[in-house]
Chains A and B, each alone.
Chain A
C-alpha cells in the first residue's frame, strides 16, 4: 500500500559522518507513525531531510515519495527549491519542539495562521481569517477572537504549541510531522496536547509522523513504531506488537531502563556506554558494544540486515528471540 509519505533507503551523510543509513518507512492516510530514538539516532535528521529541511551540506540518497490527496505523487528528493517549497508548504505541516523559537515573535497569531492559506490556498484575507478562527477552535484554544491579535510571547507554552499545531494544519496538509512536539512542555500540558493531536488526527485523517525519544508517549498514539539507533532502523512493528513482543535488545533495554511508577526495583537496568559517533560507525552491529545479549558471533563483524521474523515486524539483529 503506498502511503501518504513513503521513504525508501534514505541515507544522509555529511563529510565522513554517516548520520542516517538506509532508513525506510511509510505512513498512510489517517495513520500515525512513531519514530523513537535518542540523540545520535538520526531520527530528526532523517525525517527533516526527507522533507527537504535537512542540513545544507548533506548528501542525501534514497527516495521520498509524497502522495497528495489528489493522487499525485511527488518525488521530494529530486525536486528543486521552489517546487519543493510549494509542495512542502501545502502538503506537509511541521510542529517543532520549541514554540518560542518556531513561531515568529514579531507576527501576531492571526498573521502566522493566515500566511499559509493565502499563499498556498489562494484565499482572500477575509477567507483566511475565517479559516484562522476555525483552526484555533479546532486546536481547542478558548476565546479565539481575542487570541488572533496576540503575539506569541503573550501566550503560555501550551497555548503556543497549540498555535503551532494550528499553523501546521492551516493548509490541510496530507502529512503532519511532529518533532519532539511535547518534550519541552510540562507533563500535564503534554497530556493535553497529546489528546488534542489524537483527536485532530481522528477528525482530519492526516498522516502523522511523531518523532520522540519517549517510547511511552508513542505507545498511546502511534499505529506503527520505528525504533532508530545510531542512524539505522533497528526495529519496526505495529505498536502493540512492539511493546508486547519486543525483539531487539536495544528496544528491550529502552523499556526496561526507565523507572516505572510503583515498581520496587532498587537498581534500574542501564545500558552502559554511549551511542556511536557517526564518523566512526563500526563494521558489525551498531549496537554491539552496548548490547548485553550478543548471542551470535556474527554480531561483532557482520552488519545485520532487517529481517521479518513475524509478519509486519522487522528487526535488525542476528539474535531473534522465540517469543516475547
Chain B
C-alpha cells in the first residue's frame, strides 16, 4: 500500500479505465412525462379525444356542416340520416353542427373557470400552508364556508345575483372550485414546507417568497396538475348542469347542457336530441378523468427518483 492515488480528495479517481458506466438516463422532466403518457393506450386515446374537442372548439365554425341556428321547420325532428348525421331538433337545426359548436363553449367555460379556481385557490392554499397560524385559520375557514355549499346551490346563488349567462356561469363555477384547489395546495404545502431543502434554502438567506416560489411550488406541482385535469372534467359537467337548469348558456347559443335542457320534452320521441350531446359530455369528461389518473401515476415523484436508480 505504498502508493496512494493523488486525488484522495476528489470524487473521481484519476487513473480509471472504468467509465463509471451508468446506463444512459432515460429522458428527464417533461419529456419523460410525455413518453410515459404515450406509452399507455388509454393515455393516447384520452389525449386524442381531448385534442379532438379542442380542434372542434377552435375550428367548429368551418367544420360544422350547417349553420347552428338555421331554423328549418320542414326538416324538424328527423332521426339521424345521410343528410343530418345526428338528426335535427324541434326547430330543424342540425344536431351535429350544434354539438360541434357547443364544444367551444364547454372548452371556454371550463378552462376559464378552472383558471380562476387555480390561481385563487393555489395562492390561498400556499399562503395558508406556508405561514400557518392565524392566516391559515382565516383562509381555510373561508374555504370551509364555500365548500359547505352544494355546488349547484352556490352557482345558482351567484347567477341569481349576476343574472344568467355564460359569463356568470363561468365565474360561478370558478368560485365553486376554489376550495378544492386551496385544500390540495395547502396539504401538499404542509408536507413540503418541513422538507430539509426548504430549511436549507432559508438557512442560506432565502425569504418566504423565494422559499415558496422556488422550492415549494415546483414540488407540489404534481397534485395540482392532476387536480386541474380532474376539475376541467367536472367543470364541463357543471356547465352542462347549469345550462340544463337554464342558468348558463342562454338560447339561441348552444351548449351541451343547453341542448340536454331543450331535449327534455322530446326525450322519448327524438332520442338523438339528448343522446348525442350527452355522449359528447360523457366522452370529454371521461377523457379528462382518465388523463388525470394517468398523470397522477406518471408524476409521482418517487417513481421519478427511482427511474434514475438513485444510490445511497
State yes or no: do A and B come from one complex.
Answer: yes
CA distance A292 to B16 in the complex (A): 11
Q: Check A155 for interface membership: any CB of B closer than 8 A.
A: no
Task: Give the bracket for the number of chain A residues in contact with chain B.
Answer: 20 to 34
Measured between alpha carbons, how far is A290 from B14 in the docked complex, in Å? Answer: 9
Given known pairs A39-B311, A40-B312, the reply for A273 and B12 (CB within 8 Å) is: yes
Stretch at the interface among A57-65, A89-97, A276-284: A276-284
Which of B18-26, B28-36, B37-45 lines the interface with chain A?
B18-26
Interfacial chain B residues near A300, Cβ < 8 Å: 17
Please state if A269 and B8 are interface contacts (CB–CB under 8 Å).
yes
B268 CB contacts on chain A under 8 angstroms: none
- Is there an interface contact between A292 and B3, defined as CB atoms closer than 8 Å? yes
Bound complex: CA A249 to CA B12 (Å): 18
* Most chain B beta-carbon contacts within 10 A, residue among A17, A40, A270, A272: A272
**Contact B309 A273, beta carbon cutoff 8 Å:** no
User: Taking the complex as formed, is B1 at the interface, i.e. its CB lies under 8 A from any CB of chain A?
Assistant: yes
Q: Evaluate contact between A290 and B13: CB separation under 8 angstroms.
A: yes
Task: Kindly report which residue of chain A lies nearest to residue B19, judged by CB atoms.
Answer: A280
Report the Cα distance A288→B9, complex, angstroms: 18
| Least CB separation from A267: chain B residue | B8
| B13 and A293 form a contact (CB under 8 A) | no
A309 to B4, CA, bound (A): 25
Say if the beta carbon of A149 comes within 8 Å of chain B.
no
Shortest Cβ gap from A116 to chain B (Å): 32
Tell me whether A252 is interfacial, beta carbon within 8 Å.
yes
Q: Assuming the A-B contacts A39-B311, A279-B309, A289-B18, are A273 and B23 also in contact, with contact meaning beta carbons closer than 8 angstroms in the complex? A: no
Residues of B at the A interface (CB closer than 8 Å) are 1, 3-5, 7-14, 16-18, 20-23, 309, 311-312
17 interchain pairs, CB-CB under 8 A: A17-B309, A40-B311, A40-B312, A252-B1, A269-B4, A272-B9, A272-B11, A272-B12, A272-B13, A273-B13, A273-B16, A275-B311, A277-B22, A290-B13, A292-B1, A293-B1, A293-B3
- A residues lining the B interface (CB < 8 Å): 16-17, 39-40, 249, 252, 267, 269-270, 272-277, 279-280, 282, 288-290, 292-293, 300
